[in-house]
Amino acid sequence: MEYNCGFTKDNKWFRYRAAAIIVEDGCVLFAGNEKDNYFYSIGGAVHMGETAEDAVMREVYEETGIKYEIDHLAVIHENFFNENQGALKGMDCHEIAFYFMMKPRGTKELKSDSYTQGVKETMHWLPISELDNYKAFPCFMKEFLQTEHTGVEHIVSDERIGNAY
């Protein structure tokens, strides 16, 4: 049995996550499902004893059915939020996520057959220029993808107070 790097104690929830930024033809890949009313980045919890690189490769394959290659570590995201729905309802949440830019393949074709917590996931190529029109997390994605970067960005989001730094 695999154990996620995270814990829940009282109303506190923490998770260490690895996520992918996959861009093809001006679009970025997000996941969605019939249960939630928003899109979310491709990725998931890092397992105990697993590197973030191995976790993102595993998660990308599980969600897309494609073996993407990592280009580079792009963002370390510290995310604070209070959840008001689902399994985390009423929880004070803290997540550390490593976002890896994946190498483009030159095609949007996927072989997705992914489920998360028993709910079918669907993959969505969202136009980067139109990300403001979607409820998509992380919120920093549009600005990040439309600006030049050198090195690894450190982004802190605190949705508890409505601020992102």
Q: How many domains does the chain have?
A: 1
pLDDT in tens, 93-139: 999 999 999 999 999 999 987 777 678 899 999 999 999 999 999 99
Place of tokens 């973030």: 52
User: What CATH number has the domain bearing residue 48?
Assistant: 3.90.79.10
pLDDT digits (tens, 9 = 90+) for 7-54: 999 999 999 999 999 999 999 999 999 888 899 999 999 999 999 999
User: Is 37 part of any domain?
Assistant: yes
Position 3 in a domain: no
**2 occurs within a structural domain:** no
In-domain check, residue 1:
no
Q: pTM value? A: 0.90
Structural domain range at position 97: 8-164
Maximal CA-CA distance, the chain: 46
The burial class, CB within 10 Å (0-12 / 13-18 / 19+), for 144 is buried
Neighbours of 118 (CB within 10 A): 6
Quick one: DSSP state of residue 47?
A: B
pLDDT of residue 165: 45
Q: What is the DSSP letter of 138?
A: S
Strand partners, 99: 19, 75
What confidence score (pLDDT) does residue 82 get?
Answer: 85
Is residue 160 included in any domain, yes or no?
Answer: yes
